[in-house]
Structure 1
Amino acid sequence: MGARQKSRTVLLTGASGGLGNAIARLLAERGDRLLLQGRNVDRLEQLRRSLTDPERHRVLAADLLDSGGRRQLMQMCREEAGLDVLINNAGISRFALLGDLADRELADILHTNLLVPMTLTRDLLPLLEQSPEGAVINIGSAFGHIGHPGFTAYSASKAGLFAFTEALRRECADSGVRVHYLAPRAVDTELNTPAVRALNRALRNKSDTPAVVARQCADLLHRPSGQRRFIGWPERLFIKINALFPSLVDSALSKKLPVIRRYAKQGDLSGEVL
């Protein structure tokens, strides 16, 4: 457990996806107890058995898009001895032009990436407030700060998640609960379809391994106050330029539209396991 004397109990959503898997492994190695949320019980159990001290961890199978599933998850968390950390990691993406997105796809992306973290956090705050190490980490994206063609719904959902995190951090300033926001650039996980991988190669977009992002996530848990953190260079620079001089980014991305449109026609729905 390193220098820490007390293990934390961590609820991790989307645990069986690529990034969730990496976060779970790292936190388990550091002595934390994981509540692993997802829909695929077999994948969750496989992950649990592979973790350090597997008997300490618990699988919480629930569909986050279903209100009944979320209520079941809430009840499971209340039955635990306590909850110290909520990591809102579950998410889905759709690489497609806006005109090719169906109503259901738009709703699922916004619901999964924004409304589910909001409702889970709201319902679990009373438990987190009872912990001296209470914390929330919302996993955002660089695309929440640089609206990118082909990712309109995903960009909107992550921009909303950032605003929610910022407002909640200020709302919880006197509660003791630390509220963090972590925005990776592209992460090499199953969230990326073959079309997204081809686009990244064509545009020479860089990506990070899940392990790199997991280390940043774990580091936030040691911070005494809520943080917002962006991963990747030059993406961090582009985010600042986009905030100050958006027309420059408009011009740069407009030149890439033919490539983006070509690969967007090959896109399909993918995501971390919920």
Structure 2
Amino acid sequence: MDIRGKRVLLTGASGGIGVPLATRLAHMEARVALVGRRREPLETLAARLPHSVVVEADLSTAQGCRAAVMGARAALGGIDVLVHLAGVGSFRAFVDEDDEAIERLLRTNCASAMWLAKALLPEMTARGSGRLVFCGSVLGALALPGYTAYAASKFALRGFTEGLRRELAGSGVGVTLVAPRAVRTALNPPEVYDMAQETGMAVDPPELVADALLDAILDDAREVVLGGMEPWFVRLNALWPGLFDRLLRKQAETVRRFVRRKEIQAALQELERKQATR
């Protein structure tokens, strides 16, 4: 795809991956609608990027997703490419997940992709061109301890993109899924980076992921799994999941230790907050 002059709806634009990707798209002369919940950082970003507009929207609801599409369409005159980066994370034992957190994960990480695509597809299919690009995760194909609920939301996103890609075959509208490994953004709590340092787990800078996303858009890619060994791990897990069950038993104990530390720190912070308000 030649991105010059293309009208791009970019969600999660003020986040760790969104800022470098928006910058790259703008410098390649794409016209970008920067979508997010907080207007101030979006306006700060838009002020230094040519051909960009700000669309404030909450993507955790179907109404918010439709509003984002309508706002971007009105500002740009139409949408050629969706790049959906917005998401939320969770690092904790599944038994400790609360109901609201689970619902937020599924709404933001998967349902929002469906709502945005549903709002955009009539325009794209009528025109016979367009591309829907979604940021998934390696954990959408290889679930790990401590990320059970998060992985479920990314597995759902992967299933959605696979089905939609096949449903749209021959329509002129393409679907791309880019699945990074761990990325150094605010999505992760400090315990994840401490665990990564102790275990040697790779964590990529957001700029590297932004480059990979841009390459996927330019190449009209179908599905891209990022990382060194991670693409191989994903393939092996699909063939021999029982092997990975055994390999991850030791890692599960390490994860539990860092999860417990996270929960203890959260409890101490809550206690300090209550004492300060007395």
Name the TM-score, length of structure 2 as normaliser.
0.89
* 1:75 counterpart residue number: 70
SS of residue in 1 equivalent to 2:69: helix
| Structure 1 position 241, deviation (Å) | 1.1
Q: Is the 8 A contact 2:3 2:29 kept in 1?
A: no
- Residue 60, structure 1, aligned to residue 77, structure 2: no
> Looking at both structures, which has the greater relative contact order when contacts are Cα pairs under 8 Å and sequence separation is at least 6?
1
How do 1:1-274 and structure 2 match up within 5 A? 4=2, 6-51=4-49, 53=50, 56-79=51-74, 80-131=76-127, 133-224=129-220, 226-267=221-262
Taking only the aligned residue pairs, the percentage that are identical comes to 37
Q: Is the 8 A contact 1:11 1:83 kept in 2?
A: yes
The 1:242–1:24 alpha-carbon spacing in structure 2 relative to 1, beyond 3 Å, is same
The 1:213–1:101 alpha-carbon spacing in structure 2 relative to 1, beyond 3 Å, is same
Q: Return the alpha-carbon distance in structure 1 between the equivalents of residues 223 and 158 of structure 2.
A: 9
The 1:5–1:152 alpha-carbon spacing in structure 2 relative to 1, beyond 3 Å, is closer
| Structure 1 position 252, deviation (Å) | 1.5
| Structure 1 position 260, deviation (Å) | 0.3
Q: Return the alpha-carbon distance in structure 1 between the equivalents of residues 145 and 126 of structure 2.
A: 43
SS of residue in 1 equivalent to 2:59: coil
Q: Return the alpha-carbon distance in structure 1 between the equivalents of residues 3 and 25 of structure 2.
A: 14
Q: Return the alpha-carbon distance in structure 2 between the equivalents of residues 155 and 262 of structure 1.
A: 19
| Structure 1 position 28, deviation (Å) | 0.9
Q: Return the alpha-carbon distance in structure 2 between the equivalents of residues 5 and 91 of structure 1.
A: 24
SS of residue in 2 equivalent to 1:59: strand
| Structure 1 position 131, deviation (Å) | 4.9
Q: Return the alpha-carbon distance in structure 1 between the equivalents of residues 87 and 30 of structure 2.
A: 23
Which ranges of structure 2 fall in alignment gaps of 5 or more residues?
264-278
| Structure 1 position 267, deviation (Å) | 3.9
Instruction: Quote the RMSD (CA, aligned, Å).
Output: 1.7
The aligned amino acid for 1:227 is: R
Q: Return the alpha-carbon distance in structure 2 between the equivalents of residues 215 and 209 of structure 1.
A: 10
Q: Return the alpha-carbon distance in structure 2 between the equivalents of residues 133 and 63 of structure 1.
A: 27
Q: Return the alpha-carbon distance in structure 2 between the equivalents of residues 238 and 84 of structure 1.
A: 34
Q: Is the 8 A contact 2:62 2:112 kept in 1?
A: no
* 1:272 counterpart residue number: none
| Structure 1 position 256, deviation (Å) | 1.4
The 1:13–1:266 alpha-carbon spacing in structure 2 relative to 1, beyond 3 Å, is farther
Name the TM-score, length of structure 1 as normaliser.
0.91
The 1:5–1:142 alpha-carbon spacing in structure 2 relative to 1, beyond 3 Å, is closer
Which deviates further from its counterpart, 197-206 or 168-177?
A: 197-206
Which ranges of structure 1 fall in alignment gaps of 5 or more residues?
269-274
Q: Judging by fraction of residues, say which structure has more helix.
A: 2
| Structure 1 position 130, deviation (Å) | 4.6
Q: Structure 1, residues 192-216: CA drift from partner, whole Å, max 9, x if none?
A: 1101111211221102111111111
Q: Structure 1, residues 136-195: CA drift from partner, whole Å, max 9, x if none?
A: 111110011111110011100111111100110011112101101100111111111101
Which deviates further from its counterpart, 230-239 or 74-83?
A: 74-83
The aligned amino acid for 2:231 is: R
SS of residue in 2 equivalent to 1:186: coil
| Structure 1 position 235, deviation (Å) | 0.8
| Structure 1 position 127, deviation (Å) | 2.1
